[in-house]
Structure 1
């Protein structure tokens, strides 16, 4: 699918990003970066972006802000200044476009050309295009300067999804790392992969990190995997995630509901993360969590999307920033609140504990 971009995707994205930023066709917001840790010493990036707090908020009295169908579709005839490519070149099924409001340079998006549902299962050609972008990006790197992408997909009301038109997002790992001190941060999906067996594609090989306060599953991707293999792996992970949500609802009645399944929509919210060597899924029960002061007053709400699986999150006000930098237990509470507790794990999907 990406034959025409092989070895050149980095260059295309970089040139388009540079031109779009110079022309003010996109709005880059800088962030301040700190490394924080869970109580089990798993490192995360915490980004502080005060520009987010300045964005105007919609008036809930005049518009249903939860109705994403009322938002304009950024992937329907996208701005030429943001359009990177159409894939494949003949009879294209997907578009590559720059994110109009990035906080990471060269953040770009793979969207279906046809307006397909974000809440439906990804299809084989979606996964094939995702993996091809990841591989194409790495192929343009050198041994002295390796380059990687992280891909993530948000699906469902509790996932951090912002657009109903199906799309996958990509972040350059080296841009994400920024000026992190060497050794202080590693992508969470890579940390999870470190737990994985070197071979195997069965249910017994689904693994997770034992020290994270939210349920997740991952599995290694073989170098020669094709679109069918990617789809089988993805649906295997999805079934494990849905089983966990249903088990959680059964054990905790009244705390969470399955989503309506009109059309092809799925009943759960989840985030999917992907690199060339690993795929991971995290079922969700909340989009974010409210931070409170010691007197019970509200500081603000921290929302998370699929960048959770990269090991990064963002806040928009200084009090949130200072609290999470200084309070590991509060950070663990947020991670536990937005995900499904590990005790909802269905034993038939569990990898033998390390």
Structure 2
């Protein structure tokens, strides 16, 4: 399956040009981060990014907040628009992220305002995969590049916009040279897991997750089947957790097609992974039990990265990386052991 994007130039060069122009015109605000790599108690590497400037950024309004209606950032994005895709009868648009902490962070959104909490459709997955391939193919004779795509759905997932969209991060921009020399994209680690199970899991990750390798040239129906299979596995893991922990999690209302669970999805050209969520984040605490700050995670967790906004959070996680385990355990459905949870799939 090769959706023809119909772009006037290669996707990497087009995004770079649009990003450079938007940054120069101050249409977007890039916030640099300090970066280090910390490891879970099982040795899984996570990028830890410190971005104090984002602590000053107003928090997004919740959908039920009493106020004037929020502007849809994907409705006529003008200066941040990269392209409408495909060129014939476009179903999606590509737009730059207005507040990136990773250079050239961009987004694919539905042209019509479909809901973030509804099931992804085949054309969403086809368009996302087409962008992943177009970025990887890049310029002839140039060094191969990669994109990491992620999706946040539901109130516990880190989602902030109700208009359906997936996000792209260039892996080369995430991998900040020597500072990331001990880091690998988490979905890559999951996909490299040596298991006979149809659904892949990494034994060192403390939250429930499922992944499947994507064929080299997937069809649209194949991508949709993989997504549906992963979602159903995630849904079963949530149902099983609620059965044994009835007071710990409540499924979402499902009116008008909304899905009952929160989850993150990640995608590369080689695979797709899902993480069902039960919390947007976790309170980081000092050794005496007092609160330091709330650490929130979104779908970038499946890329093996998280961000903090305050100095003490940064200092504590660097000096006591074992606290990362409790944060990761809190956001997802707990693993019952280090072996793959074959019974849940």
TM more than 0.5: yes
**1:173-188 superposed matches below 5 A:** 173-181=171-179, 183-188=181-186
Contact residue 292 and residue 299 of structure 1 kept, 8 A? yes
Contact residue 5 and residue 87 of structure 2 kept, 8 A? no
Q: Distance in 2 between matches of 1:189 and 1:248?
A: 23
Residues 118-147 of structure 1: CA deviation (Å, up to 9, x unaligned): 001100000000000000001115676220
Q: Go from structure 1 to structure 2 and tell me whether the alpha carbon gap of 1:33 and 1:141 turns closer, same or farther (over 3 Å shift).
A: farther
Are 1:145 and 2:138 an aligned pair?
Answer: no
Aligned equivalent of 2:93: 95
Q: Distance in 1 between matches of 2:92 and 2:212?
A: 26
Q: Distance in 2 between matches of 1:176 and 1:248?
A: 33
Aligned equivalent of 2:16: 14
Aligned equivalent of 1:61: none
Are 1:124 and 2:117 an aligned pair?
Answer: no
Q: Distance in 2 between matches of 1:182 and 1:303?
A: 21
Are 1:269 and 2:262 an aligned pair?
Answer: yes
Aligned equivalent of 1:238: 231
Contact residue 6 and residue 136 of structure 1 kept, 8 A? no
- Alignment counterpart, residue 30 of structure 1, candidates 29, 32, 48: 32
Deviation at 1:77, TM superposition (A): 1.1
- Alignment counterpart, residue 219 of structure 1, candidates 202, 209, 212: 212
Aligned residues, how many?
339
Gaps of 5+ in 1: 59-63
Aligned equivalent of 1:71: 70
Equivalent position SS for 2:272: strand
Q: Distance in 2 between matches of 1:130 and 1:228?
A: 14
Q: Distance in 2 between matches of 1:18 and 1:248?
A: 46
Equivalent position SS for 1:128: helix
Detail structure 1 runs of 4+ shifted over 6 Å in the superposition.
Answer: none
Q: Distance in 2 between matches of 1:254 and 1:121?
A: 26
Please report the TM-score for the alignment, with normalisation by the length of structure 1: 0.91
Contact residue 206 and residue 349 of structure 1 kept, 8 A? no
Q: Distance in 2 between matches of 1:193 and 1:81?
A: 37
Aligned equivalent of 2:247: 254
Contact residue 149 and residue 170 of structure 1 kept, 8 A? yes
Q: Go from structure 1 to structure 2 and tell me whether the alpha carbon gap of 1:144 and 1:8 turns closer, same or farther (over 3 Å shift).
A: closer
Deviation at 1:216, TM superposition (A): 0.2
Please report the TM-score for the alignment, with normalisation by the length of structure 2: 0.93
Aligned equivalent of 1:82: 80
**1:153-232 superposed matches below 5 A:** 153-181=151-179, 183-195=181-193, 204-232=197-225
Aligned equivalent of 1:108: 106
Deviation at 1:89, TM superposition (A): 1.7
Residues 286-326 of structure 1: CA deviation (Å, up to 9, x unaligned): 00101122333221100000000000000000100011111
Deviation at 1:347, TM superposition (A): 3.9
Contact residue 37 and residue 180 of structure 2 kept, 8 A? no
Q: Distance in 1 between matches of 2:150 and 2:180?
A: 24
Q: Go from structure 1 to structure 2 and tell me whether the alpha carbon gap of 1:173 and 1:237 turns closer, same or farther (over 3 Å shift).
A: same
Residues 78-130 of structure 1: CA deviation (Å, up to 9, x unaligned): 1x211000012232110100000000000000000100010011000000000
Contact residue 20 and residue 82 of structure 1 kept, 8 A? yes
Q: Go from structure 1 to structure 2 and tell me whether the alpha carbon gap of 1:81 and 1:57 turns closer, same or farther (over 3 Å shift).
A: closer
Gaps of 5+ in 2: none
